[in-house]
A and B are shown apart, each in its own frame.
Chain A
């Protein structure tokens, strides 16, 4: 069955008037024939207005070429005729194969694992990857012929779903079974927030006060408080430093993903994240490699920069400085059964464009050959 992905491309058929016009206009209307007996040629037979088209074969070939080009613009594809009673059962990995066979009564169906490559069910179960489930189902919906009845066997608790509700273009039997071996409950435990402080005197006090404020707000924080120059642990998330000039090792860590909080009254670059009540910039951010450099608009000294005394500032800063924590994504399978999308899925299709291009190239060669061949003197 041939379909067209962009049926509007057929509008290009209007271009058939071009070769017709060419053949009408460039018709060899009056060829020059030397003729000495001109005197006896009657002048009373004026040339007839002819609507005869010269070179009908060439014209037909050109019309065919235009039609094929229009077809190419319409993006034709070939979709094999689907067997009407085909059925397929896809079992999510994590469910035992015999449990799934017992739960679904479809002996003639095509049983496969819902996993990368869709291996047959009699093969060993592939490794479970909960986050791939949604995209596997969407891909399956596109790859299966439209008439195939699809049954999906999934664990009764799903994880790793993305934000979009599953929408597929066919009716699907959504069978939730207790998972044989549920993946270990990976509750989103926030990683400990490791903060390194490399500052002295007042700046160090300010840094400690900030950390204390964040800890008071309930954030689990591990502090590595040391004089400047001490190496920083690899898994630190934030470095609070007093100086604006960083040594090479610290710069390398920032590029490698470490966030940095400094105070620099002269800073002018970077995206302004926070402003004070007078709309003056309070916090700027600059990206350096994988890490971010957060710059406070004043020195880490409450005497020199009173904005630090504002009790709102530590929590406002925390919002930006703390690494993001993903929310829990466990959901009962019954509540996320795929909904029917607006457009029916139509099954796999083979684009015919390459063959069409070949055919067009071949016809074009023939057309060139016909158009430039030595015209016989008689014609």
Chain B
């Protein structure tokens, strides 16, 4: 049991079902309609009996009608492989002054833990890879409770330490993540390279979903008086009157957020925003509701 997920969210998590728009092609038994044919409940096709087929799989009723041997194929339910891509740049350490102990990275950890729990419960395999941090960390996708515990330990130990000039080389995500996988990117959306990677992955037959974590300061800009704002990644600072800057910032940044979502949608990436005061299951529900999956 991981301590990352608050009990209230864990209770609601039971009804969350991770799904993909693609047809996974994994080995073994899973919950997702796969591309493989074999033993299963869902009828897929008839094909003619050939060498190697078991005689008991011949559809005898069809033989009676057509006087030819046909074998009844079913779609095999396949497991899904879920990949978590977590942004570990320094901007993820940003928290709101109202709640200084709950940074973006903390929210990302809760989200990642939720997805891990659900995926393992569904029998799917989960992998993790960090981008934007001082070092690239990760675990290959695998299933099972022991792998889940390893993964949760790794998630808990993540730190947002990627500053400008002290950043690991971005990993080649398409080399790590096999096709047909479900990729959930959790970031603050300021990392242009990550957004571009998501778009490339989506173009290369991965189901990519992006969660953009926003602080309340970015959403509402409830600062007042003279404040010094410091960019955690570059260290640049700007001292200004927060009251005077509020309207301009909110309109400009709102446009940036909308543009970000538009751009993701254009490349087939489902994106949601996750304000820090929202419960962690809300963005997951928005991502994996049936309507979002159909989109």
Asked if residues A50 and B226 are in contact (CB atoms below 8 Å), the reply is: yes
Asked if residues A35 and B217 are in contact (CB atoms below 8 Å), the reply is: yes
B228: nearest chain-A partner, CB-CB: A30
| The residue from A32, A45, A47, A52 contacting B230, defined by CB atoms under 8 A apart | A32
Say whether chain B's binding surface is mostly helix, strand, loop, or mixed: mixed
Asked if residues B229 and A45 are in contact (CB atoms below 8 Å), the reply is: no
Is residue A43 within 8 Å, beta carbon to beta carbon, of the partner chain?
yes
Asked if residues B190 and A36 are in contact (CB atoms below 8 Å), the reply is: yes
Residues of B within 8 A of A377 (CB): 97-100
Asked if residues B98 and A33 are in contact (CB atoms below 8 Å), the reply is: no
Is residue B49 within 8 Å, beta carbon to beta carbon, of the partner chain?
no
Contact mask for chain B residues 80-100; partner A; CB cutoff 8 A; 1 contact, 0 none: 000000000001011101111
A52: nearest chain-B partner, CB-CB: B225
Contact mask for chain A residues 46-73; partner B; CB cutoff 8 A; 1 contact, 0 none: 1110101000000000000000000000
Residues of B within 8 A of A43 (CB): 238, 240
**In whole angstroms, what is the CA distance A15 to B241 when docked?**
32
Asked if residues A42 and B241 are in contact (CB atoms below 8 Å), the reply is: no
Chain B residues with a Cβ under 8 A of chain A: 91, 93-95, 97-100, 188, 190, 217-218, 223, 225-234, 236-241, 244-245, 248-249, 252-253, 256
Is residue A29 within 8 Å, beta carbon to beta carbon, of the partner chain?
yes
**In whole angstroms, what is the CA distance A302 to B244 when docked?**
111
Is residue A319 within 8 Å, beta carbon to beta carbon, of the partner chain?
no
A46: nearest chain-B partner, CB-CB: B240
Asked if residues A47 and B223 are in contact (CB atoms below 8 Å), the reply is: no
**In whole angstroms, what is the CA distance A332 to B100 when docked?**
91
Could you tell me the distance in whole angstroms from the C-beta of A68 to the nearest C-beta in chain B? Answer: 31
Asked if residues B226 and A47 are in contact (CB atoms below 8 Å), the reply is: yes
Chain A interface size band reads 20 to 34
Asked if residues A34 and B232 are in contact (CB atoms below 8 Å), the reply is: yes
Given contacts A34-B230, A36-B94, A36-B190, contact A48 B238 (CB under 8 A): no
A47: nearest chain-B partner, CB-CB: B226
Name the residue among B95, B98, B226, B248 with the largest chain A CB count within 10 angstroms.
Answer: B226
Asked if residues A33 and B230 are in contact (CB atoms below 8 Å), the reply is: yes
Could you tell me the distance in whole angstroms from the C-beta of B221 to the nearest C-beta in chain A? Answer: 9
Residues of B within 8 A of A38 (CB): 229-231, 234, 236-238
Closest 4 CB pairs of A and B: A36-B91, A45-B244, A47-B226, A30-B228
Is residue A355 within 8 Å, beta carbon to beta carbon, of the partner chain?
no
Could you tell me the distance in whole angstroms from the C-beta of B91 to the nearest C-beta in chain A? Answer: 4
Residues of B within 8 A of A52 (CB): 225
Could you tell me the distance in whole angstroms from the C-beta of A203 to the nearest C-beta in chain B? Answer: 100
Could you tell me the distance in whole angstroms from the C-beta of A247 to the nearest C-beta in chain B? Answer: 92
Is residue A1 within 8 Å, beta carbon to beta carbon, of the partner chain?
no
Given contacts A36-B232, A37-B190, A38-B231, contact A29 B226 (CB under 8 A): yes
Residues of A within 8 A of B94 (CB): 34-36
Residues of B within 8 A of A30 (CB): 226-228, 239
**In whole angstroms, what is the CA distance A262 to B176 when docked?**
122
**In whole angstroms, what is the CA distance A378 to B94 when docked?**
15
Chain A residues with a Cβ under 8 A of chain B: 29-38, 40-43, 45-48, 50, 52, 377-378
Asked if residues A36 and B239 are in contact (CB atoms below 8 Å), the reply is: no
Asked if residues B93 and A45 are in contact (CB atoms below 8 Å), the reply is: no
Could you tell me the distance in whole angstroms from the C-beta of B219 to the nearest C-beta in chain A? Answer: 10
Could you tell me the distance in whole angstroms from the C-beta of A30 to the nearest C-beta in chain B? Answer: 4
Asked if residues A33 and B229 are in contact (CB atoms below 8 Å), the reply is: yes
Could you tell me the distance in whole angstroms from the C-beta of B48 to the nearest C-beta in chain A? Answer: 61
Residues of B within 8 A of A46 (CB): 239-241
| The residue from B217, B225, B245 contacting A50, defined by CB atoms under 8 A apart | B225
Residues of A within 8 A of B223 (CB): 33
Asked if residues A36 and B227 are in contact (CB atoms below 8 Å), the reply is: no
Could you tell me the distance in whole angstroms from the C-beta of B67 to the nearest C-beta in chain A? Answer: 72
Residues of B within 8 A of A378 (CB): 97-98
Asked if residues B240 and A33 are in contact (CB atoms below 8 Å), the reply is: no
**In whole angstroms, what is the CA distance A42 to B232 when docked?**
18
| The residue from B226, B229, B241 contacting A35, defined by CB atoms under 8 A apart | B229
Given contacts A45-B244, A48-B244, A378-B98, contact A40 B253 (CB under 8 A): yes
Asked if residues A40 and B249 are in contact (CB atoms below 8 Å), the reply is: yes
| The residue from B99, B190, B249 contacting A41, defined by CB atoms under 8 A apart | B249
Residues of B within 8 A of A33 (CB): 97, 217, 223, 227-230
Name the residue among B227, B236, B239 with the largest chain A CB count within 10 angstroms.
Answer: B227
Residues of A within 8 A of B244 (CB): 45, 48
Residues of B within 8 A of A37 (CB): 190, 218, 249, 253, 256
**In whole angstroms, what is the CA distance A41 to B249 when docked?**
5
17 other A-B residue contacts (CB within 8 Å) besides A35-B230, A41-B238: A30-B228, A33-B217, A33-B227, A33-B229, A34-B93, A34-B232, A37-B190, A37-B218, A38-B237, A41-B245, A42-B245, A42-B248, A42-B252, A45-B244, A46-B240, A46-B241, A50-B226
Could you tell me the distance in whole angstroms from the C-beta of A184 to the nearest C-beta in chain B? Answer: 90
Residues of A within 8 A of B93 (CB): 34
